[in-house]
Amino acid sequence: MTTAPAAPAFAKGLVGVVAAETALSSVDGANGILTYRGLNIHDLAARVSYEEIVHLLFYGKLPNKKELTKLAADLALNRKLPKGVLDHIKSSPRKATPMDVLRTAVSMLAYYDKDTEDISIEATRRKALRLVAQFPTIIAAIHRVRLGKDPIGPRAKLNHAANFMYMLHGELPSKLECDSMNLYLVLLADHSLNASTFTSRVASSTNADLHAAITAALGALKGNLHGGAAEATMNMLLEIGKVEKVDGFVEKAFDTKRKIMGIGHRIYKTGDPRARHLLEWAAKMEHDQGKGQRYVDMALSVERAVLRHKELYPNVDFFSAPLLYYLGIPTALDTCIFAASRIAGWSAHVIEQYNDSVLIRPGAMYIGPKAETFASLEERV
Ligand code: COA
């Protein structure tokens, strides 16, 4: 006698489900440890450039000097955008969110990339490098058009972070601004199977191309439970307005079950290792640019007030919010800046998925009506 196989356990929100193998990054939530290809994020933060992280994720190792020079040159060569994409950015409606314009621009890049339909590993790496190079150009153009200004073209002699800041603001960044942007880009480059990365892997598991997978990932990043949390955090700090008002705000938030943005994490339950680096650099930026503003103090007060209610810690978006604010980035652009970093991780995951692909297609627990009787159109009431 054969018995039916046991139904697999249902895990709402896929909590606790392991859905992919990856050699890219590991997240140890209990101990608050993040590694990129085995290298602890604390050893990488503020010691490597974003370009080095791109090499690490795409080619499996930190580059030597020659490899880094080549990769940096490749990125610098590929920063420009096709005219059609620039026209789209310039003609996007005023009320379109930067993430909507970015997502559409990335989808449009598929029209112009000569390798779009080629999903071989080599072609996907070429496309991925182009996307890493093009994301800052798109985002800076979106920012400037929203300000009613002309986009500024890239400067090949500047490194990735410096060029990004230059295209955003139209002037050469200070060393501190450049290093802060670089640190941010390094820290957010990859993070295991977060929602947007999972989305990119689901799309590429169907053999969809890189631009399709990245467009899907951008959709998943937009929400405020994921990439949208930095914007929501900064808006919350602006709403609180003063350090003295923090305790009352947090008290009321818990009473009314309003979520405190930038706090809590699905995996990290003892703290997010990236947060302390972002705090340190946000404080440096505040000291340098803050003109008496105290958003870092305010964020620290929120952290303390939350801990008096529940064991919840700041996540990556919490101190990113003041850091990006002091870099002169409007809150509406924060999620795009996140995407400018995560494009490296998404692309590396798509390559990993193609390397050992199986269609990702989970089941669902059906909870609708059973054995309904069909009624013809005439019979239906
Ligand atoms: N503010 C207030 N309460 C929070 C909270 C927050 N930011 N995050 C979690 N909690 C509460 C939950 O309501 C829940 O309370 P309960 O046990 O009384 O129901 C408890 O803490 C456990 O959280 P849980 O909902 O199980 O966590 P999760 O793994 O499902 O969700 C997040 C993780 C990230 C979605 C959640 O922490 C959150 O919404 N944070 C704010 C958004 C954010 O910063 N997102 C960026 C993530 S990197």
Higher confidence at residue 378 or residue 266?
Answer: 378
Q: What is the pLDDT of residue 5?
A: 65
Please choose, from the candidates 66, 299, 57, 80, the residue with its C-alpha nearest in 3D space to the C-alpha of residue 185.
57
pLDDT tens-digit map of 60-77: 999 999 999 999 999 999
Residue in the structure block whose two tokens are 């800052």: 136
Residue in the structure block whose two tokens are 């943005």: 261
Ligand 1 centre to CA of 270 (Å) is: 13
Please choose, from the candidates 145, 158, 169, 147, the residue with its C-alpha nearest in 3D space to the C-alpha of residue 86.
145
Q: What is the pLDDT of residue 29?
A: 93
Contact residues for 348 (Cβ-Cβ < 8 A; gap 6+):
24, 57, 58, 128, 190
Is residue 179 part of the annotated active site? The answer reads no
pLDDT score of 140 more than 70: yes
Please choose, from the candidates 342, 278, 323, 338, the residue with its C-alpha nearest in 3D space to the C-alpha of residue 131.
342
Ligand 1 centre to CA of 43 (Å) is: 29
Q: What is the pLDDT of residue 316?
A: 95
Please choose, from the candidates 152, 153, 138, 145, the residue with its C-alpha nearest in 3D space to the C-alpha of residue 93.
145
Q: What is the mean pLDDT of residues 204-217?
A: 98
Residue in the structure block whose two tokens are 């997502």: 103
Indicate the range of 43-47, 266-270, 287-291 predicted with least confidence.
Answer: 287-291
Give the 3-state secondary structure of residue 263.
strand
User: Roughly how many angstroms between the first and final C-alpha of the chain, as a whole number?
Assistant: 46
Mean pLDDT across the chain: 95
Strand partners, 28: 33
Ligand 1 centre to CA of 13 (Å) is: 13
Q: What is the mean pLDDT of residues 204-219?
A: 98
pLDDT-above-70 percentage for the chain: 98
Distance in angstroms (rounded) separating the CA atoms of residues 53 and 133: 14
CB of 316 shorter than 6 A to ligand 1: yes
pLDDT tens-digit map of 301-341: 999 999 999 999 999 999 999 999 999 999 999 999 999 99
Q: What is the pLDDT of residue 289?
A: 86
Q: What is the pLDDT of residue 7?
A: 65
Ligand 1 centre to CA of 265 (Å) is: 6
DSSP category for residue 194: -
> Rounded to 10 degrees, what is the CA torsion of 55, 60, 61, 62?
20
Q: Do domains 39-225+333-356 and 229-326 have the same CATH topology?
A: no
State both tokens at 329.
């980035």
State both tokens at 247.
């305790």
Which class would CATH give 229-326?
A: mainly alpha
Distance in angstroms (rounded) separating the CA atoms of residues 136 and 333: 12
Q: Where are the domains of the chain?
A: 39-225+333-356, 229-326
CB of 269 shorter than 6 A to ligand 1: no
pLDDT score of 3 more than 70: no
Please choose, from the candidates 195, 185, 268, the residue with its C-alpha nearest in 3D space to the C-alpha of residue 225.
195
Q: What is the pLDDT of residue 292?
A: 83
pLDDT tens-digit map of 23-35: 999 999 999 999 9
3-state percent breakdown (helix, strand, coil) of the chain, nearest 5: 55, 5, 40
DSSP 301-328: HHHHHHHHHSS--B-HHHHHHHHHHHTT
Written as one letter, the residue type at 344 is A
Q: What is the pLDDT of residue 357?
A: 82
Q: What is the mean pLDDT of residues 168-176?
A: 97
One CATH from 1.10.580.10, 1.25.10.10, 2.40.160.20, 3.10.20.30 for 39-225+333-356: 1.10.580.10
Is residue 317 part of the annotated active site? The answer reads yes
Contact residues for 183 (Cβ-Cβ < 8 A; gap 6+):
45, 46, 277, 278, 281
- Residue 122's pLDDT band, with cuts at 50, 70 and 90, is very high
pLDDT tens-digit map of 89-117: 999 998 999 999 999 999 999 999 999 99
Strand partners, 193: 191
- Residue 2's pLDDT band, with cuts at 50, 70 and 90, is low
Set 113, 115, 190, 317: catalytic member: 317
CB of 229 shorter than 6 A to ligand 1: yes
pLDDT score of 21 more than 60: yes
- Residue 1's pLDDT band, with cuts at 50, 70 and 90, is low
Set 265, 272, 277, 349: catalytic member: 265
pTM across the whole model: 0.94
